Chains A and B, each alone.
Chain A
Amino acid sequence: MVKKYFSGNRKFLSSIAVVVIAIVALGIIEPVVVENKSSNWENELKEKIILIEKSVNKLFSEKQSSLINNSEQLKVKIRSIINERDYHSLLFEHLQSLNKLGYTAEIFDSAGNLSAWNNNILTDSVADDSIMKYAGQTRFTHSDLLIYLSYSDTVHINGSINYFLLSLPMEKEYSFKNDYYENISFVDYLSSKYKTVFNIYYNSSADYSLDGRKHSFDLLNNKKEKIGVATFLKPSKDSSINYIKEDFKAVQALLVFFAFILAGFGLYKYFKKIKYRFIKFLWAAFYIVLLRILLFILGIPSEYIPTELANASFFSSAFGFGIVKSPLEFFITIFAFLVITVQAYKYSNEYLNEKKKNENILIFASILIGLTAFYFISLRGLGAALRSVIFDSTLRYFKESDLIPAMPIFIMHIGVLILGFCSIVFSVVIVLLIFKSIPSKISNNKYLVVAVLFFFFQAAGYIYDITQKQPQGTPVIRIIHISVCFILAFMIFYSNKRTVMNYVLFLFAASFISISLLSHYNLALERESLKIISKEITRSNKNLLEFFLTQTLESALNKENISNIIVSPDYNYEAEAFKIWSRSPLQRESVVSSVNFLNASKDYLGGINFGINEGYNNYFNTSTDEEQNIIIWEEDYLYSNAKLLKGLGEIKSNDGKVLGYVEVIVLYDVNNLGLFEGPEFFSTKSTYSNLALDLSKIKIFDFHNGVLLNTFSEINLSSEQENIILNSPDKLNNEAWLYLQLNNEENLVYVLNTKLDDIKRTIAVALASKTISWNLFDFFKVFFIHSFFIIILIAAAVVIGFGRKKISGLTFRTQLLTAFLVISIIPLILLAIYFRTLTEESNDSATFYKLGKRAVRVEKYVNDYLISSGININSIFDKATRDLAVNYEIYDDKKLVYSSENIFHKIGLLPGIINPNAYNKIVNKGIKEIVVEENIEKYNFNSFFYKGKIGNRDYIIKISDSFNNILLPMSSTDVDIFLFGSYSLAVILIIILSTFLANQISSPIRKLTIATRSVAGGDLNVELKEYSRGETKELITGFNKMVRELKKSQLELAELERESAWKEMAKQVAHEIKNPLTPMKLAVQQLIIAHKDQSPKFNDIFEKVTNTVINQIETLKNIASEFYNFARMPNLKLEEVMLQPVISDAVNLFIEEAVAISVDLPSDNLIVLADKDQVKRTIINLIRNSVQANANSILISYENDNVSHIINIADNGKGIEKEIANRIFDADFTTKVKGMGLGLSIAKNFMESITGSVILKETSSNGTTIQLKFPKI
């Protein structure tokens, strides 16, 4: 009873009930768990605190152990190479390997001087007490900008004591908001890991926090001595309870999802029983849509899987109340569309196979108009969706330089491809349905009909577009979309190309259409970028800068140890100012600014300055904000019409005494276009860096109160052009779009009027029209990714096909195609690699030459001035920087003696010591000049080191491309883009040509293979046609001849066998008949004698003779019956045969024929008692008859009655005439020119021999149906 209860759908319903109970139970349990946690919170808190403390200590110990282990390995390495001739070189190389692990290493010789290093250094001499004092202990060390965990130790080399210092960075005290910055923060790591706020004091004298909400503990070194204090905010009860609630919510969400899936499985059985395909499709679509909505409401997976793909700042659209609000949600929604679309295609294919045709022209017209409208609405939907992909996204699909882009862009590309695929498939389904509904009276000439429909669609599309206020896409894309859909639909409907290959064609068509649309909208975005630029220029104003200034000052004054810093003698104020500046909105917004420290007398102590040329002033108190100790005021800038916004904050001691000041200065320059002009590694991710177009191609003209004051362009405007620009914006919107000829080139110009801070500004942003045009390289950049994905799908399909044994080995065609591709593509790839390598070498040479030239010029300039003037050398170095406009560094052995960008060395961002690699090569190996790759954060740049002479001394001159702009012939990015475009096109052409050639060459072989299979299956009516010449023609002619001979021999053999069998049988019959005839003759002779003799026993003899004759006649009759039975039937090998595989094998023989054979059999086994070969021959025969009757579509279907398995074979051929319909099963009757007409007769005989039947079920000019009835076992 239990088994019965759980059988069938009840199984699913029961599971759903269990899941629902679980959801409710969780809802009941949650408050209990929360209450329990709440009441036991005190104890739990103590445990948590202990756990966190232990865990942090363990982490810290691991870091120390790693540091010490690496130190030991360093010692071992030093000892192993000490006696090598190139010891120093080898040592430098080993230290480079430590660099890769993140360690900073310094080695000191026996005199205590630095002899080898790998990075920035903490100290250049062992005279620093800490190295010797703390040898063998881990401790925290501080550089200007970083805090390290360090370990120093001794190593004995040739009897003398050398020291080394190995350090692991723990904390960066500055940050940039850009892609180059790499955060190193042990505090951030701990805060994120334990979900609380951590603070670490990296010195041994730090105290515990007195705040009761926090917990502090000591950080101990390897000698168990205190070296720092870690403090964290104790976990709060509320946040712990919130985590529990979130966990419960997540589990409930998953259970709801699971219940919905189970419901789907449970309802599937009812779904399968739905009769009408359209209803089935609607239900399937409804379920998928509901599932998608449910996933969205439950927040699966975005809320539970932390990923950048769920970040709305990459892409989000308002469609469907946020159902595509991130790249991940977009992908999931598109995937749901894909499932619905594939269902639509599948059901439409089934409908196409139906023989039923529409004969009503009115119905056809209605269908045509309705579906055409639907077509264009869906096309518009595609356009709108792709517009959103471009406009509602910060991803720049056509600017991405990497071959395989980052995940958010990659997933959007795949989503776009799938969306395009859905559109193409959906549109093809519409066209197919229209084809299907064409009445037969007008469908005689398929080409004419399709052409008329095609032009109708084009016209309808044009009309639809002109009625739209904002058509989506372009006429060209619309025309191509319709053309592609018609070609695909024609292939499927009229040429019966219904294979898996269709999906590949759909995908490539989708890729082409979707990229074309994306490109179209990207061009629109590029135009829109002109508007964005003008808004960005006018975004920054005095109020905003004042806000940033105040924020920076407040943040500086709130710094924990600021009052100690301001009174410390010899403090590196530059570095401190930099730390404040880097974490402020001034860096984030790339504002021209400076941060300075002043003592209590307002004397300058130190600071950093990015872009402000300003001498130093004394201050007078103006208005004070006493609460915040901040004064803000405005001054004129000495060097232009700009203003300086200045802020001064008082740094006070605990007893209120002013110890010093922090000063922040911001330049407010209305002429400043907001374009970043500093070093690349400082640049921020601003609006400019994320434009759809290349900033270097735009021109900006800035008018103030009608006068052109500022330009970002090398073009001079004429007064006429200026007037056009100034008079163009309309009064309501204050903006205008126009075209202007600038330098004989048409430019699209956006003009914006705005008024801010009492200045009427007119900003004109221009871009050459030819720049905003369709670009082949852009197209292939995206096409490459689509193709990559399609190839992966094809490979996956092949692997699955192998796994399911649907593909056994590579076919001849595939081998040919593979061979063509390998022969063509490999050399292409090698060529591309060679070209890229060549370009890189060319770039390296250009870098070497251009930087080298500058170095030599600096050397000459400085030497010339040294000789001719009495200026001191540092002044000459400064003069060289200004006069030559070259930024450079000078090293005396390893030490920096001069830098044009000294501020970066002072703050500690650049080291005060020469690059170790360069030093090793130049000093140890004697190379005169070398280019070395260096980096600041993740910003890589090249530096040219040159050993020169200044005066009588050797110096090393360094020129970097980070501070000196050099133009390279072609950057790596440009090369990659070029290779994308040109080689992708070549690869596509190769694939198309190779496929075509492989098809052509292998076509005769494929036909031959199938024909051979047919012959092996017993079908000797096969004859191949071949129009080519040469060996192929000979092969096919030979094959045809062979089959004819085989058939002839078979017939002759059959004839001979029949004759021989009949002769034998005749002999047997004669022999058998003779036996009873002899006694009959004797008996009759006896009777004659008795009659002649008038024998008295005549009556007895008569009776005896008649009995004998009757018995012998009976014997003769039995002999005749037996022979008849024997002759009636051939030998059949009866066995249990499953019909489905036999039918499937027979169908497979016709794969290459121009006929689409659909098989609609139930999944249950249909088992009959028959001869397997005869069944197969019968099916083959019937299919061949259909093909010969010009059918291009055959449906093999199943019916069930209580006693038989009924197989119907229905075709759409020319039918059988009524007059001959009742003769088709007769032996020797045929309508064919060739053939004996035995096929149907043999089929009939066979079926009857197994007590089944074969009948002509129906026939007409639309086709014929033959019905086979197999009795059930």
Chain B
Amino acid sequence: MKTSLNIFLLVVLFFGAMSQSYAQDKFEDEPQVIFNKIESGIKEFDVNRFSDYFQSETFVSFINGVSGSFSSNQLFFIVQDFINSYKPISFRITKISSGPQYSFATGFYNYSYEGIKGVAKFYISLKTENGSWRISQISIN
């Protein structure tokens, strides 16, 4: 009985430690995860994949002239309209840099706009807000 109880406690402790470590890893890995979601979301026309990470006011600057700070609600449709017009052919991150409160990624965005192909460079930055990583800026020009 005592042995079983000890084993049970050990198992509980073990999983508790694992979950804690997982949580910490999750936090540290999050910028990479978010960037991956942005990459896949844009390629597949699915803004929902990364829209949860928008800040309450996020700054964007796009090739179509849209520029400024927008609420997360607005930004969803602005990004959706943008990728529907400038249809992604490829969205490739070439550099990621992470810090304790700030991360950014740059890369190339190949698109087709009304049948005409073009390429733009993008800069996406993340900041921590209330303990979570949020997208603070997207520049595609």
Write the residues of chain A forming the contact surface with B, with a CB cutoff of 8 angstroms.
Answer: 177, 195-197, 233, 236, 238-240, 242, 311-313, 315-318, 322, 325-326, 388, 391-394, 531-532, 535-536, 539, 541, 543-544, 547, 551, 585, 588-589, 684-687, 690, 732-733, 754-756
Contact = CB atoms under 8 A, between A and B. Distances in A.
A318 B68 contact: no
Given A317-B73, A393-B74, A588-B61, A544 B123 contact: yes
A685 B68 contact: yes
B141 A585 contact: yes
B77 A197 contact: no
A415 to B, nearest CB: 16
Interface string B59-103: 101000111111101101110110000000000000001001110
A1120 B78 CA distance: 98
A239 B70 contact: no
A391 B61 CA distance: 19
A45 to B, nearest CB: 14
Nearest to A325: B77
Interface string B111-135: 0001110000101010101110000
B104 interface: yes
Contacts of B76: 316, 318
B116 A544 contact: no
A322 B97 CA distance: 34
A531 B123 contact: no
A177 B67 contact: yes
B83 to A, nearest CB: 12
A379 B72 CA distance: 24
A312 B74 contact: yes
B119 to A, nearest CB: 11
A531 B136 CA distance: 13
Judged by DSSP, the binding face of B is strand
B40 interface: no
Given A313-B78, A531-B57, A388 B67 contact: no
A316 B114 contact: no
B106 interface: yes
B139 interface: yes
Nearest to B102: A756
Nearest to B57: A532
10 contacts: A195-B115, A196-B115, A236-B115, A318-B76, A543-B97, A544-B104, A544-B125, A547-B123, A585-B61, A687-B59
Contacts of B121: 547, 551
A236 B116 CA distance: 9
Contacts of B81: 311-312
A732 B66 contact: no
B8 to A, nearest CB: 34
Contacts of A685: 67-68
Given A177-B67, A313-B66, A316-B74, A585 B139 contact: yes
Contacts of B77: 312, 316, 322, 325-326
A864 B102 CA distance: 57
Contacts of B69: 532, 535-536, 687, 690
A181 to B, nearest CB: 11
A523 B70 CA distance: 18
A315 B76 CA distance: 11
A391 B73 CA distance: 9
B131 A732 contact: yes
Nearest to A243: B115
Contacts of A236: 115
A571 to B, nearest CB: 28
A392 B74 contact: yes
Contacts of B137: 539, 544
Give the 9 A-B residue pairs with the shortest CB-CB distance, closest first.
A239-B115, A312-B77, A316-B77, A392-B73, A318-B73, A325-B77, A687-B69, A547-B123, A316-B74
B36 to A, nearest CB: 20
Nearest to A689: B68
Indicate the member of B61, B66, B67, B106 with the most A CB atoms within 10 Å: B67
Nearest to A239: B115
Contacts of A690: 68-69
A392 B104 CA distance: 26
B130 A732 contact: yes
A830 to B, nearest CB: 41
A313 B104 contact: no
A444 B9 CA distance: 75
Nearest to A322: B77
A654 to B, nearest CB: 23
Contact of B70 (A313, A535, A589): A313
B20 to A, nearest CB: 18
Nearest to B51: A318
A391 B71 CA distance: 7
Contacts of B66: 313
Contacts of B67: 177, 588, 684-685
Nearest to A388: B73
Contacts of B106: 547
Nearest to A531: B57
A586 B34 CA distance: 28
A1012 to B, nearest CB: 62
B130 A733 contact: yes
A318 B139 CA distance: 23
A393 B78 CA distance: 11
A684 B127 CA distance: 25
B3 to A, nearest CB: 42
B73 A755 contact: no
B14 to A, nearest CB: 29
A312 B78 contact: yes
B123 A315 contact: no
Indicate the member of A233, A240, A394, A532 with the most B CB atoms within 10 Å: A394
Contacts of A322: 77
A392 B57 CA distance: 10
Nearest to A535: B57
Contacts of A312: 74, 77-78, 80-81
Indicate the member of A312, A531, A536, A551 with the most B CB atoms within 10 Å: A312
Nearest to A393: B74
A277 B121 CA distance: 60
A585 B59 CA distance: 14
Contact of A196 (B71, B116, B129): B116
B114 to A, nearest CB: 6
A316 B115 contact: no
Given A539-B136, A588-B61, A732-B131, A755 B100 contact: yes
Indicate the member of A240, A394, A535, A733 with the most B CB atoms within 10 Å: A535
Contacts of B57: 531-532, 535
A687 B68 contact: yes
B47 to A, nearest CB: 11
A585 to B, nearest CB: 6
Contacts of B70: 313, 394
B68 A195 contact: no
A233 B61 contact: no
A528 to B, nearest CB: 8
Given A239-B114, A388-B73, A543 B104 contact: yes
Contact of B101 (A393, A531, A686, A756): A756
Contacts of A240: 115
Given A541-B102, A547-B123, A687-B68, A315 B74 contact: yes
A983 B121 CA distance: 52
B71 A392 contact: yes
Contacts of B127: 754
Nearest to B59: A539
Contacts of B116: 195-197, 233, 239
Indicate the member of A238, A240, A318, A685 with the most B CB atoms within 10 Å: A318
A1048 B80 CA distance: 83
A732 B76 CA distance: 27
Given A541-B102, A733-B130, 15 more contacts: A195-B114, A238-B115, A240-B115, A311-B81, A313-B74, A313-B78, A325-B77, A392-B71, A394-B68, A535-B57, A535-B69, A544-B104, A544-B139, A589-B61, A685-B68
A391 B57 CA distance: 10
